[in-house]
Structure 1
Amino acid sequence: MAKRRGIMSEHLKEEIAKELGFYDVVQREGWGGIKARDAGNMVKRAIEMAERGVSEDKRSL
């Protein structure tokens, strides 16, 4: 099976993991060590950030 290419940059993933409080797990065990709930919360946070960015872009038009 081919390895999937991530959409989020490594830096963004690390920043969100720090914000959500599980970056220590990532450092110890890698991304495969995080809980499914943490992964879901990370995606949710990234979507919120993207939506906020889009709405800010629309206001600047």
Structure 2
Amino acid sequence: MGRRRQMSEQLKLEIARDLGLLETVEQQGWGAITAKDAGNIVKRAIQMAEEAAARGAKQ
């Protein structure tokens, strides 16, 4: 079974800002975003992790 990790609140807020969701999250909380938007947050976090791993592999 794979490891289960959670994103930091700071990272989630940064990605929400990038995706234009920050105002909704600040005013209404995480429960107010759509499942599609939550998926996009996860997708972006994975992309960021892959990019960081690729940069680390080059060093």
Same fold (TM over 0.5): yes
Paired residues in the alignment total: 55
Identical aligned pairs, as a percentage? 51
Offset of residue 32 of structure 1: 0.7
What stretches of structure 1 of length at least 5 have no aligned partner? Answer: 1-5
Corresponding residue of 2:12: 13
What stretches of structure 2 of length at least 5 have no aligned partner? Answer: none
What code does the residue aligned with 2:57 have?
K
Normalised to the residue count of structure 2, the TM-score between the two structures is 0.89
Distance in 2 between residues matched to 1:23 and 1:37, nearest whole Å: 15
Corresponding residue of 2:58: 59
- Give the ranges of 4+ consecutive aligned residues of structure 1 lying more than 6 Å apart after TM superposition: none
| Max Rg structure | 1
Normalised to the residue count of structure 1, the TM-score between the two structures is 0.86
After superposition, give the CA deviation of every residue in 1:8-42 in whole Å (9 maximum; x if it has no partner): 00000000000000111101110111011110000
Corresponding residue of 2:34: 35
RMSD value over aligned CA atoms? 1.0
